[in-house]
Amino acid sequence: MPYDAEDTRRRIFLAAADEFAERGLAGARVDRIAAAARANKQAIYLYYGSKEKLFAAVVRAKLAEVGDIVDVDPDAVGESVGRLFDWHREHPELIRLLLWEALETYDEPDETDAERRDTFRAKARRFAGGETRVRAAQDLLFTIMGLVSWNFAVPRTCRLVLDEPTEEAAFARRRATVIEAARALTRAAAPPTGCGSAPAPRGG
């Protein structure tokens, strides 16, 4: 069977995502990634350059994945936030990767920072409906991201604080609360009617 470079890259990426989510950057081992991917270590360095660059590529791709699937719609905030909550519950690896990134690479410059910043700026611009209120939209979107992601960063604390018997019950309760909070925050961020400001994000 001829060598399939793209399939090898895909296997390496999937194995790396699992390894980094479980062990972080420092704890991950290239030999374990290679074994899980049924590839050799040289292929990892050939395609990604280093373990650090592979980690950055995994984080960037996972953020792009959720961004492609879920974008907060200013006309349907509740529905969008509900989908975002559900996506994170089905894909807990992204929160783990972001926590490892915060713990291990927070102070280190990353060549992907500019690309990620531009992506978030574009989201804020769409949410705000233009340039006038982009900064307010950035604050609001980041707050909504925090409302969603904290549940999956500390699921045990979520269950204990809410005094629910199961994680399922805690997440169902939190999902409803987060959606309503996002709607309320979006309504509160809207400028007074007739003040001449550009349209602000609307809740759905």
Nearest 10 degrees: CA dihedral of 157, 163, 167, 171? -90
**Does pTM surpass 0.85?**
no
Distance CA 175, CA 157 (A): 15
Q: What is residue 203's predicted lDDT score, i.e. its pLDDT?
A: 57
Distance CA 21, CA 92 (A): 9
Rounded to 10°, the helix 113-128/51-69 angle is 10
Of 179, 172, 181, nearest to 83 by C-alpha is 179
* Statement: residue 156 has pLDDT above 60: yes
* Statement: residue 130 has pLDDT above 90: no
Going from N- to C-terminal start, the domains of the chain cover: 1-49, 58-189
Distance CA 130, CA 185 (A): 19
Burial of 77 (0-12, 13-18, 19+ CB in 10 A): buried
Confidence of residue 49 (pLDDT cuts 50, 70, 90): very high
| CATH tag, 1-49 | 1.10.10.60
Q: Residue 204 corresponds to which tokens in the numbers above?
A: 């759905």
Confidence of residue 202 (pLDDT cuts 50, 70, 90): low
Of 97, 74, 88, nearest to 24 by C-alpha is 97
Superfamily of domain 58-189 in CATH is Tetracycline Repressor, domain 2 (1.10.357.10)
